[in-house]
A and B are shown apart, each in its own frame.
Chain A
């Protein structure tokens, strides 16, 4: 291949790569998380005996809204104390744990936005309920259920966000949240765009598979357009070579 051809190909590849990287850098959000307050905070511990409910049907008659308004959502020790008190009245630890788990999951309407700062704040709060060897207790199942509920909530939202905008996976905040979910065994799927799939297969050099997918999964219209574009591109490249060659030779002659 002569010099002009190599130069032209190199220039073309450089422009494509530089513009793709430039676009990616400009579109990625690399800002840090903002502080978002999501949970209720109360100085004083609630006197749970003051709440009225049917001790024969605690799960359905419990005043969840009132309870949630009067407690500190992040005070795990207090929650444990409420569980003891509820068990004394209901006579069954499974019932009291079900009530508190329900209160701090489905009945707790946190700021339900899909903004990444809020999702991060939810995980920070949920981590207070994380059970490890140090704080493992008879309430472990209840704590785990609260912790996993909110991680599941965030993981599902991250999935939806990546489906809506596949490039979000390059954002710092998104990648951080994914990593946090993965560390806790919530494996977020994420969405890979068609172009990314093509690039991956090109890297893997799966030419026959690429051709097969292209041939079997695209419409005749798409195939016709692609072949036309490829044809025009080829003609332009050939004429480009010729033009550079002629200019180069003319310059040489002039010199």
Chain B
């Protein structure tokens, strides 16, 4: 009888302790809202992050490639880095090189710098107009390469409008700046810039599939919002971007500064955590983080 009481007491205590551990808040849900919304017949999974309102405690981190010095792959880097971090979500980022199918050697497509290390110098000339810069502070900016007006702070190119495609001295100086400032840079399809759609049905992929986008903009109060939107329905790139822009403008009252595409192809990775730090099993990609080639991660600090 005594043993029975003992075991019941242990079970109750363990349950209470585990409940407390489980209830540890991972992020402030007043600044991060994860929802599934139906708008004009389409369903969207939305990870809406109020970076401005949170006092910039919501941060982004991008893993572009295998670590040059330690040899750690992207999943290994992510696992080591994410310990004691309050992760909000992790998604595959830009497109990958398809000549070698293995995740450990595959590299990103287009100009890429990972934490100051140049991964790929090739700047795509006729496609992928978006160049995304992820700062060590957790901020993200993007530029339309066609505008030839990227300005960075620091170094001998500070404040000069850079034409990265047309002027190789600018490009080289930018790479040197990226190394010195340990920034992370990747190139991808620019879908929206200055709240205007930048692609059309004639100059974008016609294949129909699920879509995922990263949109950064301002809400009606002017707060800086970062938003990952996943559309499970199969659409073309143009159709998907057009619908999501309308959804953000009209339903979320968000003015979009830029929106870029996140790859849902052969490296479709998505992992989302709720405010208690639990994985949300229904919101996931086709592949696991251990199979990722590059990762865009949002976390709360």
In angstroms, Cα B209 to Cα A209, docked, is 13
Residues of A within 8 A of B120 (CB): 185-187
Is A118's beta carbon under 8 Å from chain B?
Answer: no
Residues of B within 8 A of A187 (CB): 97, 107-109, 119-120, 122
Contact B98 A189 (CB under 8 A): yes
Residues of B within 8 A of A145 (CB): 168-169, 171-172
Residues of B69-110 contacting chain A, CB below 8 A: 95, 97-99, 101, 107-109
Contact A217 B121 (CB under 8 A): no
Contact A190 B119 (CB under 8 A): no
Residues of A within 8 A of B (CB): 94, 97-98, 101-102, 105-106, 141-142, 144-146, 148-149, 151-152, 155-156, 159, 169, 178, 181, 184-192, 197, 200, 209, 216-217
Is B246's beta carbon under 8 Å from chain A?
Answer: no
* B contacts with A: majority SS: loop
In angstroms, Cα B207 to Cα A244, docked, is 44
Q: Which 9 A-B pairs have the closest CB atoms?
A: A149-B168, A145-B168, A145-B172, A187-B120, A186-B122, A145-B169, A101-B169, A155-B122, A189-B109
Contact B98 A188 (CB under 8 A): no
In angstroms, Cα B120 to Cα A216, docked, is 33
Chain B: residues with Cβ within 8 Å of the partner, total of 32
Is B124's beta carbon under 8 Å from chain A?
Answer: yes
Residues of B within 8 A of A217 (CB): 207-209, 234
The listed residue with most A CB atoms (<10 A of its CB), out of B118, B122, B167, B171, is: B122
In angstroms, Cα B155 to Cα A141, docked, is 14
Is B166's beta carbon under 8 Å from chain A?
Answer: yes
Is B125's beta carbon under 8 Å from chain A?
Answer: yes
Is B286's beta carbon under 8 Å from chain A?
Answer: yes
Residues of A within 8 A of B98 (CB): 189-192
Residues of A within 8 A of B101 (CB): 200
